[in-house]
């Protein structure tokens, strides 16, 4: 065989990735799809790519140089397992199977373990950037063994997006590390999108500006510290006019947000790791709330602030100042969301034994992926200065930003509460920030309650040991066995 890389699964993502690979000097790409039609279509449409089509797994293996390297781009789940089973049948020890689908990282850990037994390398790789990214340069988050990275590294570097001269790919860590990081990327994306949506809603309801006028606000924001792909496309979506009705498209779209589950995975995983990713959770739940029209229908008559007090809360004498406050609230909440997301990666790495360079992760998200932004450079710098930084938002740059933003942030949360405009991600981010800052938390009371009903014991601030109060007896305190 003479192809140096193969792609299995030629739907939109696989086709685009195969074309991207073929367009790079030195690559010859073998392609295979379960149903023949997609292969014929791709190969027919792109003679310039010099694809080597295969119509069986045997052909496919035969067309590849050793070590054989194949990227799977099929529907995540059972399809991935089915393809892996076939590849194991025709591949040999030392070959490399890469899963570029959106797999749950625990599936990747399981698959890596099973495939490794055969002597074949298995790499779970997060791919970000959608169809466009796959074709022109995605952000790539491969896990797997060091051995496979030696072969894969140069190929992946050649197709990844480039940010400030650097390819957006790094060997994230072993087994499921790549898919874990891709999952958290998607969780952060949910939070980013929700924060932008809350900012839009407050501006619209607070100032009465039209979507097109708000598009100008976002375009302006995109020239400052909020510069990012998501802010940029927000302006474009808001400017879009519906051809059929002549209304802003955003007013014609049904207000129920869909989700494919990666936000929920991020939150579920954070819950089991004990990491408070409240911004991502609120963003995920906000989509859920929007998607229950029957609940929203019966709730419409619930009391809110009177029109008068809502108007008073929103009373905006200086529109520009109001918009600037919202911009600052958005920036502060965004810092919280990223800080929480990186906290989840840190905790996941500790739990699963991965060595993840957090600064490198921020760096490879600067290009190709949906959350690409200038801002990520600040995260790379923060971890470069302090690799073991326990809370990202305590890095000096972010402290400065939060110091500038916090008064406005509080105002915006207060205004939204008084006006009856939901801002769950803004307000939960602020609560997280104040929770971290607090000298004392009411967690002490919770420990007292737990000790009362379940003898769960507590620690004291003034001496070592574990204690229990005899709540149903004479209420004296005894030293207890540490139950934790
Ligand atoms: P789909 O997720 O729609 O999957 C379609 C592909 O899976 C087709 O090639 C199909 O073959 C193949 N397939 C199925 Br379904 N069952 C199979 C089986 N049992 N055995 C072999 N092949 C099977 O494609 P996509 O939207 O291109 O996404 C591919 C992967 O990339 C997914 O895991 C997705 O989550 C991930 N991803 C997508 C994006 C994005 O923006 N869309 C971004 C990042 C990652 P057939 O032609 O014979 O039916």
pLDDT in tens, the chain (484 residues): 799 999 999 999 999 999 999 999 999 999 999 999 999 999 999 999 999 999 999 999 999 999 999 999 999 999 999 999 999 999 999 999 999 999 999 999 999 999 999 999 999 999 999 999 999 999 999 999 999 999 999 999 999 999 999 999 999 999 999 999 999 999 999 999 999 999 999 999 999 999 999 999 999 999 999 999 999 999 999 999 999 999 999 999 999 999 999 999 999 999 999 999 999 999 999 999 999 999 999 999 999 999 999 989 988 889 999 999 999 999 999 999 999 999 999 999 999 999 999 999 999 999 999 999 989 999 999 999 999 999 999 999 999 999 999 999 999 999 999 999 999 999 999 999 999 999 999 999 999 999 999 999 999 999 999 999 999 999 999 999 765 5
CA of 11 to the centre of ligand 1 (A): 6
Q: Is the CB of 39 under 6 A from ligand 1?
A: no
Marked catalytic residue, from 86, 189, 282, 344: 189
pLDDT for position 173: 96
CA of 97 to the centre of ligand 1 (A): 16
Which spans in 208-318 are helix H? 211-221, 229-239, 249-252, 262-273, 278-290, 293-299, 307-313
Strands 467-469 and 477-479: antiparallel
Q: What is the spatial distance between Cα 114 and Cα 42, in angstroms, rounded to a whole number?
A: 32
CB neighbour list of residue 184: distance below 8 Å, 6 or more residues apart: 266, 341, 344, 345, 348
- Whether residue 341 contacts residue 188, with contact meaning beta carbons closer than 8 Å, is answered with yes
Q: For residue 182, indicate whether it is catalytic.
A: yes
pLDDT for position 1: 75
Q: Is the CB of 173 under 6 A from ligand 1?
A: no
Q: Is the CB of 83 under 6 A from ligand 1?
A: yes
CA of 18 to the centre of ligand 1 (A): 13
pLDDT for position 483: 53
CB neighbour list of residue 168: distance below 8 Å, 6 or more residues apart: 137, 138, 139, 140, 160, 161, 162, 363, 364, 365, 366, 367, 368, 369
At residue 321, φ and ψ (nearest 5 deg) are -65, -40
Marked catalytic residue, from 38, 182, 325, 334: 182
Residue 400, exposed/middle/buried by CB under 10 A (0-12, 13-18, 19+)? exposed
pLDDT for position 117: 97
Q: Is the CB of 468 under 6 A from ligand 1?
A: no
The two structure tokens encoding residue 137: 């340069």
Which spans in 75-224 are helix H? 78-90, 105-116, 130-136, 146-159, 177-207, 211-221
At residue 71, φ and ψ (nearest 5 deg) are -105, 125
The two structure tokens encoding residue 386: 């302090």
Q: Is the CB of 127 under 6 A from ligand 1?
A: yes
CA of 175 to the centre of ligand 1 (A): 21
- Whether residue 6 contacts residue 32, with contact meaning beta carbons closer than 8 Å, is answered with yes
Q: Is the CB of 54 under 6 A from ligand 1?
A: no
ipTM value for the complex: 0.98
- Cα separation values, 400 from 121, 365, 386, 403, Å: 45, 23, 17, 5
pLDDT for position 174: 96
- Residue 179 is classified by DSSP as H
User: In terms of residues, how long is the chain?
Assistant: 484
450-462 burial string, b = 16+ CB within 10 Å, else e?
Answer: ebeeeebbbeeee
User: If residue 447 lies in a helix (H) or strand (E), which one and from where to where?
Assistant: helix 443-454
pLDDT for position 64: 98
Q: Nearest C-alpha to atom 16 of ligand 1 is from which residue? A: 79
Q: Nearest C-alpha to atom 42 of ligand 1 is from which residue? A: 130
Q: What is the spatial distance between Cα 76 and Cα 80, in angstroms, rounded to a whole number?
A: 6
Q: Nearest C-alpha to atom 2 of ligand 1 is from which residue? A: 75
Pocket probe mutation, ligand 1, options 7, 8, 11, max atoms within 8 Å of Cβ = 11
88-115 burial string, b = 16+ CB within 10 Å, else e?
Answer: bebbeeebbbbbbbbbbbebbbebbeeb
Secondary structure (3-state) at 352: helix
pLDDT for position 262: 95
Q: What is the spatial distance between Cα 142 and Cα 172, in angstroms, rounded to a whole number?
A: 6
Q: Nearest C-alpha to atom 12 of ligand 1 is from which residue? A: 74
Q: Is the CB of 280 under 6 A from ligand 1?
A: no
Pocket probe mutation, ligand 1, options 34, 87, 125, 159, max atoms within 8 Å of Cβ = 34
Whole-model pTM? 0.96
Q: For residue 209, indicate whether it is catalytic.
A: no
Q: Is the CB of 34 under 6 A from ligand 1?
A: yes
CB atoms closer than 10 angstroms to residue 471: 12
Q: What is the spatial distance between Cα 312 and Cα 274, in angstroms, rounded to a whole number?
A: 40
- Cα 278 → chain centroid: 13
pLDDT for position 484: 53
pLDDT for position 317: 82
Q: What is the spatial distance between Cα 195 and Cα 424, in angstroms, rounded to a whole number?
A: 9
Shortest CA distance to 64 belongs to which of 99, 108, 112, 97? 97
Secondary structure (3-state) at 97: strand
Q: Is the CB of 31 under 6 A from ligand 1?
A: no
The two structure tokens encoding residue 21: 């690979």
């Amino acid at each position: 065989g003479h192809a140096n890389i193969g792609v299995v699964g030629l739907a939109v993502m696989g086709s685009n990735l195969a074309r991207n690979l073929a367009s790079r000097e030195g690559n010859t790409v073998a392609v295979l799809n379960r149903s023949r039609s997609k292969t014929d279509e791709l190969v027919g449409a792109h003679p310039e790519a010099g694809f080597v089509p295969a119509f069986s797994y045997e052909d496919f293996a035969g067309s590849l140089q050793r070590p054989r390297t194949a990227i799977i781009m099929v529907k995540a789940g059972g399809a991935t397992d089915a393809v892996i089973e076939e590849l194991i049948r025709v591949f040999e020890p030392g070959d490399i199977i890469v899963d570029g689908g959106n797999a749950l990282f625990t599936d990747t850990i399981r698959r890596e373990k099973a495939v490794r037994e055969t002597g074949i390398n298995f790499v779970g790789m997060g791919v970000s950037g959608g169809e466009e990214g796959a074709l022109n340069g995605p952000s790539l988050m491969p896990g797997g063994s060091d051995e496979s990275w030696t072969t894969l590294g140069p190929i992946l570097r050649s197709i990844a997006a480039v940010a400030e001269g650097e390819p957006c790919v790094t060997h994230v860590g072993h087994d499921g590390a790549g898919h874990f990081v891709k999952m958290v990327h998607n969780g952060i994306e949910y939070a980013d999108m929700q924060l932008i949506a809350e900012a839009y809603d407050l501006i619209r309801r607070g100032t009465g500006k039209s979507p097109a006028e708000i598009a100008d606000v976002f375009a302006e924001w995109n020239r400052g510290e909020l510069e990012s792909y998501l802010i940029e496309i927000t302006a474009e979506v808001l400017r879009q006019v519906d051809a059929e009705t002549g209304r802003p498209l955003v007013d014609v779209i049904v207000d129920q947000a869909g989700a494919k589950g990666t936000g929920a995975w991020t939150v579920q995983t954070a819950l089991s790791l004990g990491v408070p990713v409240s911004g991502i959770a609120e963003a995920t739940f906000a989509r859920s709330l929007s998607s229950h029209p029957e609940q929203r229908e019966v709730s419409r008559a619930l009391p809110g602030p009177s029109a008068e007090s809502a108007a008073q809360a929103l009373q905006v004498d200086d529109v520009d100042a109001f918009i600037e406050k919202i911009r600052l609230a958005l920036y502060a909440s965004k810092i919280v969301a990223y800080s929480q997301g990186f906290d989840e990666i840190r905790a996941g790495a500790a739990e699963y034994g991965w060595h993840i360079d957090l600064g490198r992760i921020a760096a490879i998200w600067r290009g190709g992926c949906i959350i690409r932004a200038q801002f990520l450079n600040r995260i790379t710098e923060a971890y470069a200065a302090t690799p073991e930084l326990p809370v990202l938002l305590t890095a000096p740059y972010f402290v400065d930003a939060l110091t500038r933003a916090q008064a406005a942030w509080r105002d915006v949360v207060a205004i939204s509460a008084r006006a009856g405009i939901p801002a769950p991600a803004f307000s939960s981010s602020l609560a997280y920030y104040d929770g971290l800052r607090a000298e004392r938390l009411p967690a002490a009371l919770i420990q007292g309650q737990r000790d009362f009903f379940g003898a769960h014991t507590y620690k004291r601030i003034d001496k070592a040991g574990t204690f229990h109060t005899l709540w149903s007896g004479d209420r004296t305190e005894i030293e207890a066995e540490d139950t934790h």
